Amino acid sequence: MATGVGGGRGRPRTGAAMRVGLACPYSWDFPGGVQVHVRDLTEVLLSRGHEVSVLAPTDGLQPLPAYVVPAGRSVPVPYNGAVAHVAFGPPSALRTRRWLRTGCFDVLHVHEPAAPSVSLLALWAAEGPVVATFHAAATRSPAMRSAHRVLEPALRKLDARIAVSAAARDTLVSAHGGSPVLIPNGVRVDRFAAATRRGRWSSPAGTVSFLGRLNEPRKGLAVLLAAWPGVCSARPGTRLLVAGRGDIGDACRDLPAHVRPSVSFLGELGEADKAALLASTDLYVAPQTGGESFGIVLLEAMAAGAPVLASDLPAFRAVLDGGRLGALTPAGDPGALTRDILALLSDAQRRETLRAAGAAAVRRYDWDVVAGEVLGVYERVRAATGRLP
């Protein structure tokens, strides 16, 4: 069975296998898009015979995979409309340097190096080929302009830059320049496609679902809950399934008492239950209000066979091909969301058209495809820096 890199300096390579170090800036114990991306990329690389080690902040809240090396406990900081759990300072810097020294990586791959965390620490200490992936899409600001002056010496060490979306690429180029290659987020398509519908989550009137952090305003749950009484009034018996971490009492404080029985809060789900939830829904709703650079949850829904209704944000519009792979609704507008949910629940043919189109198109984002593109970048930087065996 493949394992992560330990301390084996001088361990012989086999064929084209590489030692890869992945630096994840956000705590492994607070799952988010970057952590999921790093996890899935690691597992695909391991399955292809590469040796991989992941450095990430950890907080002791859950068992760690063998390939994760703790970089220290995290601290929460506001970032891009959310809260990022990062690790910075002398103890984390020491652990980072030790990880780089013992890993002896052929390629170091840092994620979100502009965040004040271990990816930036790893970039500062790196000596070999370095690739960076930029995930975030954010509005240009004075803080970003100031950060550019601080980060520029470190970013000059990068041998290749990857952006996960056009929005992330535009943010990167605007803030720091460069010519990043566009390689999207990936999804384990077959795992989601194999999920089966669970009868306890079904309703003859229709089942709508939402996945996301409950108390993060930009995820848009408040917009969906504001739209929900209108859905219940027009289609009695319709169910809303809400999955994600957060305070349920705060999330549903303004939900009228007479519609609360139609809303089920499921808490944070594991991967298998998340896939089953998406496979059991008649309509997946992504009501985010902004700050999204990609939309991995849209791909997961499409892979599981769920028709998608998403806010008309640039990143979501790109993933949904302008509305061909999923319906779009004005962001932050509960009235429009009520209207569009009802229209889709009443149109089985439209939902089936979206479902079939999404299930076919999502194959382009399968991790087997995406990981191959990332490996191509690794090979190019190794060749350019003279580090090929």
Could you tell me the CATH number of the domain that includes residue 230?
3.40.50.2000
| pLDDT(176) > 90 | no
Of 19-33, 170-184, 236-250, 365-379, where does mean pLDDT reach its minimum?
Answer: 170-184
Question: Do 46 and 194 fall into the same domain?
Answer: no
Q: Which phi and psi angles does 19 have, rounded to 5°? A: -95, 120
| pLDDT(115) > 80 | yes
Question: Do 336 and 321 fall into the same domain?
Answer: yes
The residues that bridge with 241 in the sheet, in sequence order, are 209, 264
What is the reported pLDDT for 103?
A: 96
User: Is 237 domain-assigned?
Assistant: yes
Look over the chain and give the mean of its residue pLDDT values, rounded to a whole number. 90
56 burial type by CB count under 10 A (0-12 exposed, 13-18 middle, 19+ buried)? buried
Question: Do 350 and 322 fall into the same domain?
Answer: yes
Of residues 249 and 357, more confidence is placed in 357
Residue 148: pLDDT band with limits 50, 70, 90? low
Question: Do 219 and 163 fall into the same domain?
Answer: no
Tell me how far apart the alpha carbons of residues 206 and 231 are, in angstroms, rounded to a whole number.
11
User: Is 2 domain-assigned?
Assistant: no
Tell me how far apart the alpha carbons of residues 381 and 159 are, in angstroms, rounded to a whole number.
6
- DSSP-assigned letter for residue 260: G
What is the reported pLDDT for 83?
A: 82
Task: Report the DSSP pairing between strands 239-243 and 263-267.
Answer: parallel
| 334-339 own/partner pairs: CB under 8 Å, 24+ apart | 334/223, 334/224, 334/226, 334/227, 334/230, 335/227, 335/230, 337/223, 337/224, 337/227, 337/285, 337/287, 337/309, 338/227, 338/228, 338/230, 338/231, 338/234
What is the reported pLDDT for 263?
A: 97
User: Is 8 domain-assigned?
Assistant: no
How far is CA 247 from its chain centroid? 21
What is the reported pLDDT for 389?
A: 54
User: Is 7 domain-assigned?
Assistant: no
Question: Do 178 and 244 fall into the same domain?
Answer: no
| Cβ 301 vs Cβ 278: under 8 Å | yes
The closest alpha carbon to 354, from 306, 288, 319, belongs to 306
Question: Do 170 and 49 fall into the same domain?
Answer: yes
User: Is 135 domain-assigned?
Assistant: yes
Task: Report the DSSP pairing between strands 181-182 and 75-79.
Answer: unpaired
Mean pLDDT computed over 361-381: 97
Question: Do 96 and 205 fall into the same domain?
Answer: no
Mean pLDDT computed over 1-25: 61
Question: Do 258 and 167 fall into the same domain?
Answer: no
Q: What Å distances lie between residue 153 and 137, 147, 218, CA to CA? A: 22, 11, 32
Residue 12: pLDDT band with limits 50, 70, 90? very low
Task: Report percent pLDDT > 70 for the chain.
Answer: 91
User: Is 314 domain-assigned?
Assistant: yes
What is the reported pLDDT for 78?
A: 81
Of 170-184, 238-252, 318-332, 363-377, where does mean pLDDT reach its minimum?
Answer: 170-184
Domain limits at 248? 189-364
Find the DSSP H helices in 312-366. Answer: 314-319, 334-345, 348-361
Residue 144: pLDDT band with limits 50, 70, 90? very low
Question: Do 349 and 232 fall into the same domain?
Answer: yes
What is the reported pLDDT for 15?
A: 42
What is the reported pLDDT for 323?
A: 97
What is the reported pLDDT for 1?
A: 33
Mean pLDDT computed over 271-275: 95
Q: What's the pLDDT tens digit per position in 319-350?
A: 999 999 999 999 999 999 999 999 999 999 99
Residue 141: pLDDT band with limits 50, 70, 90? very low
Q: What's the pLDDT tens digit per position in 286-316?
A: 999 998 889 999 999 999 999 999 999 999 9
Q: In the structure encoding, which two tokens stand for residue 302, read together?
A: 């499409």
Mean pLDDT computed over 194-214: 95
The closest alpha carbon to 81, from 156, 37, 22, 141, belongs to 141
Mean pLDDT computed over 95-119: 96
Of residues 5 and 36, more confidence is placed in 36
User: Is 147 domain-assigned?
Assistant: yes
Residue 221: pLDDT band with limits 50, 70, 90? very high
Tell me how far apart the alpha carbons of residues 295 and 288 are, in angstroms, rounded to a whole number.
10
| Cβ 151 vs Cβ 176: under 8 Å | yes
What is the reported pLDDT for 143?
A: 45
Question: Do 291 and 198 fall into the same domain?
Answer: yes
Q: In the structure encoding, which two tokens stand for residue 71, read together?
A: 């970089």
Total count of domains within the chain: 2
Residue located via tokens 């899409």: 137
What is the reported pLDDT for 387?
A: 62
User: Is 206 domain-assigned?
Assistant: yes
Question: Do 52 and 118 fall into the same domain?
Answer: yes
Mean pLDDT computed over 20-48: 95
Q: What's the pLDDT tens digit per position in 222-246?
A: 999 999 999 999 999 999 999 999 9
Mean pLDDT computed over 154-178: 89
Q: What's the pLDDT tens digit per position in 56-85?
A: 999 999 899 999 999 999 999 886 667 889
Question: Do 324 and 198 fall into the same domain?
Answer: yes
